[in-house]
């Protein structure tokens, strides 16, 4: 048997930090970029739910399941290297991941599906909820009011509590990691946090979210502060379409819809009030 005739050896295993460069190559192959920090973050958070399909010793596909509690887990970064697409690797990873999540007793599993991934997830029992659209901006923005306030570490417990009310679960590790390595601004009423906006990325592109405020005016201040703070940087925000005020707000501030995903759930109805968010953290974490 010659080299080109032999069958490829494929196996599913847990991802480790040593796989980060290989994961970056997979995401780069489909146009998602090579942000090493994001992969380190996802592998650390995913733990036993950070899975790879390894073909002939190389990472060919990935999938992550983040268990927030028995009430909710989130699936993200289900991607396949362009050279290995169409071979069923994403389905195999999803089956393994759902076995893991069901075994952990998770009641609701959620994800944000592209139009290409939605048939796979539907075949595994996920049902659609609503759209989450990506809005973008590239132009510079001049802030005409006092900017939103800077963040300090002592504000984190309040942000976690507010996020808990929206998501239905606590996710301090996700928010702490985002706050530590990213950009954060607050809308405050005295010592009380009335709203927040986090962002991650680099000089070329920043993703805003989670973004929430108790008032539309406060939400707009946070958005405008972000736009003014990042001149020349591309901006992306993932907005739940049921939040009509959020859609109107981003559009009147010059952002435009690029594309979108369908938010889906398996199992019980999702906890919390997620559609009250102006912008979600990411497709990978909810």
Instruction: Label residue 8 by pLDDT band (50, 70, 90).
Output: low
Least confident segment among 98-102, 142-146, 150-154, 205-209:
142-146
Contact 210, 198 (CB under 8 A): yes
Question: How much is the average pLDDT of 222-247?
Answer: 94
- Which pLDDT score, from 0 to 100, does residue 204 have? 84
pLDDT (tens digit per residue) in 129-166:
999 999 998 777 888 788 899 999 999 999 999 999 99
Q: Which pLDDT does position 231 carry in this prediction? A: 84
pTM: 0.92
Please state, in angstroms and rounded to a whole number, the distance separating the CA atoms of residues 231 and 56. Answer: 44
pLDDT tens digits, residue range 189-198?
A: 999 999 999 9
Residue-averaged pLDDT of the chain: 92
Tokens of 193: 């946090």
pLDDT tens for each residue of 38-79: 888 889 889 999 999 999 999 999 999 999 999 999 999 999
Residue identified by tokens 């970064």 is 77
Please give the C-alpha separations between residue 91 and each of 97, 121, 170, in angstroms, as whole numbers.
Answer: 10, 9, 29
**133 burial level (CB within 10 Å; 0-12, 13-18, 19+):** middle
Examine the pLDDT at 230 and tell me if it is beyond 60: yes
- Token pair, residue 127, equals 């049902």
């Amino acid at each position: 048997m010659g080299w080109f005739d032999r069958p490829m050896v494929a196996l599913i295993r847990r991802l480790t930090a040593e796989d980060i460069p290989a994961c970056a190559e997979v995401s780069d192959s489909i146009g998602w970029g090579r942000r090493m920090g994001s992969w380190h973050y996802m592998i650390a958070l995913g733990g036993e739910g950070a899975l790879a399909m390894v073909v002939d010793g190389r990472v060919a596909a990935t999938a992550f399941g983040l268990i927030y509690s028995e009430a909710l887990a989130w699936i993200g970064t289900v991607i396949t290297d362009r050279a290995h697409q169409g071979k069923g690797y994403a389905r195999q990873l999803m089956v393994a991941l759902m076995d893991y999540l069901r075994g952990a007793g998770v009641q609701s599993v959620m994800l944000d599906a592209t139009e290409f991934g939605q048939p796979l997830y539907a075949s595994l029992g996920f049902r659609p909820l609503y759209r989450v659209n990506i809005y973008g901006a590239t132009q510079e923005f001049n802030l005409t009011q006092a900017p939103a306030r800077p963040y300090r570490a002592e504000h984190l417990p309040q942000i976690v509590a507010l996020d808990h009310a929206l998501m239905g679960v606590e996710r301090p590790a996700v928010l702490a990691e985002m706050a530590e390595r990213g950009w954060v601004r607050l809308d405050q009423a005295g010592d009380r946090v009335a709203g927040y906006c986090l962002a991650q990325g680099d000089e070329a592109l920043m993703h805003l979210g989670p973004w929430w405020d108790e008032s539309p005016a406060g939400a707009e201040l946070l958005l405008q502060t972000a736009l003014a703070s990042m001149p020349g940087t591309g901006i992306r925000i993932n907005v739940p379409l049921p939040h009509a005020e959020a859609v109107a707000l981003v559009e009147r501030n010059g952002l435009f819809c690029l594309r979108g995903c369908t938010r889906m759930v398996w199992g019980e109805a999702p906890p919390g009030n997620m559609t009250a968010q102006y912008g979600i953290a990411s497709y990978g974490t909810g």
